[in-house]
Amino acid sequence: VKKPDPVIEPGATIGILGAGQLGRMLALAGARLGLKSHIYAPDAGEPAFDVAAGGTVAAYEDEAALVRFAEAVDVITYEFENIPAATAAFLAERRPVHPGPLALEKTQDRLIEKRFLNDLDVATAGFAAIDSAEAIAPALTSFSGAGILKTRRFGYDGKGQAMIRDAAKGEAAFASFGKVPAILERIVPFAREISAIGARGRDGSFRAYDICENSHANHILSRTEAPAAIKPATAQRAGEIAKCIADALDYVGVIAVEMFVVVGTKGEELIVNEIAPRVHNSGHWTIDGTATSQFEQHMRAISGWPLGSTERRGRIVMDNLIGDEALRWREILQEEGACLHLYGKSEIRDGRKMGHVTRVYMKETG
Ligand SMILES: Nc1ncnc2c1ncn2[C@@H]1O[C@H](COP(=O)(O)OP(=O)(O)O)[C@@H](O)[C@H]1O
Ligand SMILES: [Mg+2]
């Protein structure tokens, strides 16, 4: 029998696996509510360590370090979904881990994720499992000669992905990925990309943020705008899809669901691209744009606390500061009302997310 989750009160310590900017912003949000954070990650010098009360630098396979970490914290969460399943299971025997192992199992692998979604009657791009180079040509033919090859695991910011228009190129891409299991996806002719971000509490309560719209540059999220320019009924459906997924995973915490909006003869149709079992870059606007940021909401959810208001304060534009764009920090500081966030990364590199800036165009209030 599973032990009930402990009562978490201010002063408790939240264990966070991963030390990037998402972990950093989780720790900052927790600190405001009197929660301490203890960060666990393999590399020192990552941004979350700077703002947390405790830290462990160790491999995810280091059982002695994992035991000490579990003993030092009250509840455990993570800022990225590629935590080894064995690590999550090992920790879950010692402390509650939220979101639970089921969420990791269904979202770490694109093939498992798509089958899970289709079983829920949630539409995805058409896909074929690619376990060998020979599987590419027939799959490509069934998709009218074009598709996107993606590794099943460990992809992010477009890494481990290639647009394929002939089988030979596909086989070369498959080889360049190291012949690891992959999927081929049908290309979705989307009009927009949106995300639905919501949180599910330990009691099953669910609150969603307004649906936001994402633009990418070089496969990296560049801008998020809220609200998305979609019909109210489409926005409502997007929120319902996120809730349906969270319920099916018996999920606790913030979940983000990336979707494509396809405009067809039947109007706006939604196709789910991927699920992030964590806070998400496209939700950064909630820090300055709502009373309860996605980071605070996540800390509330995993602590068994009431979820907060997700009401949007106005029209919002969030721009990522990628690589050299972060050098504009002084100029942004001079801009009235621009909310600057820097992640404290020591070195600027091309394609590296260094910070973001949010602009809130407030609604008139009485
Ligand atoms: N099946 C698809 N059809 C059209 N565009 C796609 C498809 N899959 C991915 N893309 C584009 O590539 C981007 C990155 O793909 P995604 O699956 O979200 O991987 P990542 O893990 O890198 O975010 C998407 O945001 C979208 O712009
Ligand atoms: Mg994505």
Tell me the average pLDDT across 194-201. Answer: 98
Residue closest by Cα to atom 24 of ligand 1: 219
| Tokens of residue 260, six digits | 């494509």
Across-strand partners of 264?
267
Confidence of residue 1 (pLDDT cuts 50, 70, 90): low
Work out the angle between the directed axes of helices 21-32 and 294-303 (0-180°, nearest 10): 70
- What is the reported pTM? 0.97
Stated as kind and residue range, the H or E segment containing 289 is helix 286-289
pLDDT of residue 363: 73
- Amino acid identity of residue 223, one-letter, is R
pLDDT above 60 for 165: yes
**What would the pLDDT profile of 212-269 be if each residue is shown by its tens digit?**
999 999 999 999 999 999 999 999 999 999 999 999 999 999 999 999 999 999 999 9
pLDDT of residue 122: 98
157 CB near ligand 1 (under 6 Å): yes
pLDDT above 80 for 366: no
pLDDT above 70 for 364: no
pLDDT of residue 161: 95
273 CB near ligand 1 (under 6 Å): yes
Å from CA of 113 to ligand 2 middle: 13
Across-strand partners of 7?
none
185 CB near ligand 1 (under 6 Å): yes
Distance CA 62, CA 28 (A): 27
Confidence of residue 365 (pLDDT cuts 50, 70, 90): low
Å from CA of 258 to ligand 2 middle: 7
Distance CA 134, CA 161 (A): 18
Q: Which residue has the tokens 């907060």?
A: 308
